[in-house]
């Protein structure tokens, strides 16, 4: 199991994740703005069978993907330090549903998902905003998705930490693997924390809190085999 995270995550969270697999800590400089420079969801689109990664991704990422025999291809779009150049790979996906802004996302992603139901994200940072659990259930900070996901859970992002910004987004705090949903922080530090726990538990998922602190938008946690 390979787990890709932002190098800036708290050490306690890293230690906890090491119980589940090998960690790769993503770190870049001078490509996008500093707050998101290690965010997996900025550099990687995770499809069921293949990743699409930004062409400026670190060589160390390529090496670790090859080591774990994880299929990937480089995208066409260069990332940049201004919107929308930061959103090309920030697409949320499961086997049937894709959430993103197809005006800005990389062409390789469009090709991989051409047979899926595509739902437009007005915010464009779709994976930052949204974790897809299944075809009808999501956890999201993007309220415009309510019409598409009436059974979704929508979270106020104001209590989510993203250094250098007023707040982050709930999708960037979360990762999903099998029947577990991992949280960068403790739900007790968010006013809707118990809602999140109850929602996930009712869907048969176990919450795993990675450290006892406020929720941090770390660009998601990517699990892959």
pLDDT in tens, 88-141: 999 999 988 999 999 999 999 999 999 999 999 998 999 999 999 999 999 999
Tell me: the pLDDT tens digits for 135-184?
Answer: 999 999 999 999 999 999 999 999 999 999 999 999 999 999 999 999 99
Compute the average pLDDT of residues 182-193: 98
52 vs 89: CA distance, rounded Å: 8
Whole-number pLDDT of residue 134: 95
pTM surpassing 0.95? Answer: yes
Residue 49 has pLDDT above 90, yes or no: no
**In order of start, what are the domains of the chain with their CATH numbers?**
2-224 (3.75.10)
Which of 13, 172, 174 lies closest to 86 in space, CA to CA?
172
Residue 48: pLDDT band with limits 50, 70, 90 = confident
Which of 209, 154, 157, 214 lies closest to 180 in space, CA to CA?
209
129 vs 42: CA distance, rounded Å: 12
């Amino acid at each position: 199991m390979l787990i890709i995270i932002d190098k800036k995550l708290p050490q306690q969270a890293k230690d906890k994740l090491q119980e589940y697999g090998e960690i790769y800590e993503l770190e870049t400089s001078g490509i996008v703005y500093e707050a998101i420079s290690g965010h997996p969801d900025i550099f990687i689109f995770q499809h069921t069978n293949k990743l699409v990664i930004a062409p400026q991704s670190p060589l160390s990422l390529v090496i670790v993907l090859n080591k774990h025999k994880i299929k990937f291809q480089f995208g066409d779009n260069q990332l940049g330090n201004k919107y929308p150049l930061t959103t090309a790979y920030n697409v949320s996906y499961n086997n049937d549903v894709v959430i993103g802004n197809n005006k800005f996302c990389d062409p390789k992603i469009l090709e991989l998902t051409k047979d899926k139901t595509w739902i437009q994200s007005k915010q464009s940072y779709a994976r930052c905003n949204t974790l897809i659990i299944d075809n009808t259930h999501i956890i999201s900070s993007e309220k415009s998705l309510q019409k598409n996901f009436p059974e979704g859970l929508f979270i106020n992002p104001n209590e989510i930490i993203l250094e250098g910004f007023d707040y982050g987004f709930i999708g960037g705090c979360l990762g999903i693997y099998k029947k577990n949903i991992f949280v960068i922080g403790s739900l007790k530090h968010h006013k809707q924390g118990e809602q999140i726990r109850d929602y996930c538990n009712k869907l048969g998922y176990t919450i795993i809190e990675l450290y006892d602190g406020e929720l941090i938008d770390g660009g998601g946690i990517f699990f892959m085999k």
